[in-house]
Amino acid sequence: MSATPRILYCHCQYAQVLPKDVKEGVLQKLCEADLPFEAVADLCELSARRDPLLKEIATGGPVKIAACFPRAVKWLFSAAGAPLDASSTEICNLRVQPLEAACDALFASTVTPNLPTGKPTA
C-alpha cells in the first residue's frame, strides 16, 4: 500500500454542476504537474455500475478525490460496495472550492481526512 496519496479526478461529464473553469483548471494543473492520477468521466455513473475501479481506489491506501460534496462522494463509493477509509481520504469539493484552493489541497503531500461521519450539521 503506497503512503503517497493517489489522486482521483471526477469530470462530472453528464451534468453542469461543477464550474467549468474550476473543473478544467484542476485537470489542466494535474496535466502540468506530471503526477500520476486517475481521471473518471463521472463518479455517479461508476457508482451505479459498481465499477471495479472504485474498489481499487477505496482499498489502495491514502487518496485525494477531486469531485463534489464529501457526503455525496462517501455514499457513492459505499453504494458501489467500495467504502472509503475515512482516516485516509480527503475530498476536494470542486462545486464550492475556488480553483487555487482545490489545487493546493490536491497537491499537498499530506492527506487531511474530511469524510463526514455520523450526522454533522452545517
Partner 1 sequence: MALQQPALRVSLYEGPGARKLTSQGRFESIKQLLAQGCSVRSGSPDSNNAAVLVGDFEESVSGESITQERVRVADPAFPEAIEQSRSRTNAAASGQWKPWFPVIDYDRCTNCMQCLSFCLFGVYGVDEDRKLQVQNQDNCKTNCPACSRVCPEAAILFPKYKAGPINGDLVSDADLEREKMKIDISALLGGDVYSLLRERTAKAQSRFSKERDADKALAERQKCLVKLSSIAADIPPEVLASLPKPEEIARRAEEAAAKARAAGMQS
The contact set with partner 1 (CB under 8 A) reads 11-15, 17, 24, 27-28, 30-32, 34-53, 56, 68-73, 75-76, 78-79, 95, 116-122
d(CA 34, CA 36): 7
CB of 25 to partner 1, least distance (A): 10
CB of 96 to partner 1, least distance (A): 8
93 vs 111 by CB, closer to partner 1: 93
Angle (nearest 5°) at CA 104 between 6 and 42: 50
54 vs 111 by CB, closer to partner 1: 54
67 vs 105 by CB, closer to partner 1: 67
Q: Which is nearest to 11 in space by CA: 54, 59, 57, 66?
A: 66
39 vs 108 by CB, closer to partner 1: 39
For residue 73, which phi and psi values (nearest 5 degrees)? Answer: -65, -45
Q: Which residue's C-alpha cell is 481521471?
A: 39
CB of 31 to partner 1, least distance (A): 4
DSSP string covering 68-82: S-HHHHHHHHHHTT-
